[in-house]
């Protein structure tokens, strides 16, 4: 700060504090003319309201005096009076440098853990989870939702339950994020509308939902000869192929009769992009730890969608 600016700031400080202190000391002692009834004579509302004169409460005087003491102490300890640096030698640049150094140390420590610790261990690391949550919100929430509960309209699975298309181990989750996933169920409309309806009833039966037993029985041979190649003879799914289970109440594209018929009739296609080109190894570890944490906590039980 130049000498001119320093003197200008000092002048403003002295002027403001001086005037404020003068008014503070003079105000309680000022003599205000009053009438016999103790008012100033000022009236409002046709004489209904009259201006009285009362001394300031002592607590207000004590508090205001303490504020003046604090203000003078601040100017002695910290920079604020022109070019004076203060007895403590504090500077905003110095505090910023300390904060940056502290954050850098924490970041380096976290980076080492992301490089060396397994995802299962990182899933209990508060800093790793905070980073993973931020990265998830920036990159994954558009499809999977901010709470990772999925989106059936997009065919984006719930990542906070314990049901998995491609496996829920730490290794599987990392592979899904790093390499992406692609799933295709062919359209079976060529088999005929009635066959599609029969298969939908059979799938409803596998999941334990109410269904037409006769139609389901008619579709059973076709399911075991065709659909079981991916979904399994009992509808248990196949994580290697990403074929979902059909014998539970968890649905990727919806579990109503209309949803199931549409899936069989038109087929389904799902694509999760590979994130290796956008996220580095440490970031993928952090996101995987966050997803692993969500899906392996007690709160994840009982979800109604599928990753």
Which of 7-11, 88-92, 232-236, 301-305 shows the lowest per-residue confidence on average (mean pLDDT)? Answer: 301-305
Segments in the chain forming alpha helices (H): 3-26, 58-77, 92-116, 119-122, 126-139, 141-144, 170-179, 193-206, 213-222, 228-231, 257-266, 281-295
Domain boundaries, the chain: 3-77, 118-300
Compare 54 and 224 and report the one with higher pLDDT.
224
Q: How sure is the predictor about 45, in pLDDT bands with cuts at 50, 70 and 90? A: confident
Judge whether 231 is annotated as a binding position: yes
CB–CB of 108/96 below 8 Å? no
- 161 within 8 A of 263, measured Cβ to Cβ: no
Residues 6 or more apart whose Cβ sits within 8 Å of residue 133: 290
Say whether 144 counts as a known binding-site residue.
yes
Question: Is 93 labelled as part of a ligand binding site?
Answer: no
42 marked as binding residue: no
What is the predicted pLDDT for the residue at 20? Answer: 94
pLDDT of residue 118: 96
**What is the dihedral angle through the alpha carbons of 28, 33, 38, 39, rounded to the nearest 10 degrees?**
-100
39 vs 61: CA distance, rounded Å: 22
Q: Identify the architecture of domain 118-300 in CATH.
A: Orthogonal Bundle (1.10)
| Structure tokens, 269 | 């296609």
Q: Is 293 annotated as a binding residue?
A: no
The pLDDT of residue 27 is 85
Q: Is 67 annotated as a binding residue?
A: no
Predicted pLDDT of residue 304: 39
């Amino acid at each position: 700060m130049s000498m001119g600016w320093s003197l200008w700031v000092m002048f403003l400080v002295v002027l403001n504090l001086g005037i404020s202190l003068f008014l503070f000391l003079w105000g309680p002692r000022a003599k205000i003319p009053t009438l016999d009834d103790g008012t100033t004579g000022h009236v409002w509302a046709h004489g209904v309201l009259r201006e009285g004169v009362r001394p300031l409460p002592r607590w207000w005087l004590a508090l205001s005096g303490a504020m003046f003491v604090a203000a003078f102490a601040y100017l002695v300890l910290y920079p604020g009076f022109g070019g004076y640096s203060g007895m403590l030698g504090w500077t905003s640049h110095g505090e910023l440098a300390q904060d940056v150094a502290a954050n850098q140390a924490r970041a380096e420590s976290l980076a080492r853990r992301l490089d060396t610790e397994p995802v299962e261990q990182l899933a209990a690391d508060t800093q790793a989870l905070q980073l993973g949550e931020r990265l998830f919100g920036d990159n994954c929430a558009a499809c999977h939702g901010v709470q990772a509960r999925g989106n059936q309209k997009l065919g984006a699975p719930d990542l906070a339950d314990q049901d998995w298309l491609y496996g829920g181990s730490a290794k599987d989750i990392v592979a899904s994020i790093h390499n992406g996933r692609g799933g295709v169920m062919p359209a079976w409309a060529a088999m005929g509308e009635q066959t599609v309806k029969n298969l939908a009833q059979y799938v409803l039966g596998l999941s334990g939902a109410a269904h037409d037993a006769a139609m389901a029985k008619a579709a059973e041979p076709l399911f075991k000869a065709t659909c079981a190649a991916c979904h399994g003879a009992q509808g248990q799914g196949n994580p290697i192929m990403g074929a979902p289970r059909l014998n539970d109440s968890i649905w990727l594209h919806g579990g109503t009769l209309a949803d199931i018929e549409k899936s069989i009739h038109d087929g389904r296609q799902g694509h999760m992009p590979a994130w290796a080109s956008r996220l580095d190894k440490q970031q993928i570890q952090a996101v995987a730890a966050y997803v692993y944490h969500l899906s392996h906590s007690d709160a994840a039980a009982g979800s109604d969608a599928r990753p």
